[in-house]
């Protein structure tokens, strides 16, 4: 009997999870989020760089699902991702809440392959302060480097 030909099935891509680790006590004391924000993503093997800095460079492709979440270093101090500002031609983040909890996360789909890095801005609510904290350093979404670079 001849071997069966396998039909290529495209498996759904797992989301690129971008996690913001925040030291809210230090950020509130210093009124500085840049020195107290550590960004990571799940795409290091694909080429993401800048781990542990507010200038994370996440490698993404058209159709990738992005998921942003927050982990506070001090679990007794409130931290929430308040907003994500990015070019809407690239992605449109949507605020969501895990069912049965008050834990907020954000998702978006990458609308196009990127030829240039696209910076975006994150803002956070910390403690009882009503004004959002926004770092000056900006993470970016980036496409793969062109061949020959």
- Helix (DSSP H) and strand (DSSP E) numbers for the chain: 1, 10
Q: What is the pTM of this model?
A: 0.87
pLDDT digits (tens, 9 = 90+) for 22-69: 999 999 999 999 999 999 999 999 899 999 999 999 999 999 999 999
Residue 1's pLDDT is 63
In the numeric block, the tokens 């996360």 are attached to 105
């Amino acid at each position: 009997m001849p071997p069966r030909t396998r039909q290529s099935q495209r498996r759904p891509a797992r989301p690129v999870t971008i996690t913001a680790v925040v030291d809210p006590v230090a950020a509130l004391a210093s009124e500085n989020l840049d020195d107290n924000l550590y960004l990571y993503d799940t795409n290091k093997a694909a080429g993401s760089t800048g781990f542990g800095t507010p200038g994370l460079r996440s490698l993404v492709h058209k159709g990738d699902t992005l998921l942003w979440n927050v982990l506070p270093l001090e679990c007794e101090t409130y931290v929430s991702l308040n907003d994500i500002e990015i070019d809407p031609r690239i992605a449109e983040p949507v605020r969501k809440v895990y069912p049965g909890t008050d834990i907020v996360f954000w998702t978006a789909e990458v609308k196009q392959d990127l030829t240039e890095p696209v910076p975006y801005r994150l803002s956070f609510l910390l403690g009882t302060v009503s004004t959002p904290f926004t770092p000056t350093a900006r993470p970016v979404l980036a496409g793969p480097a062109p061949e020959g670079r």
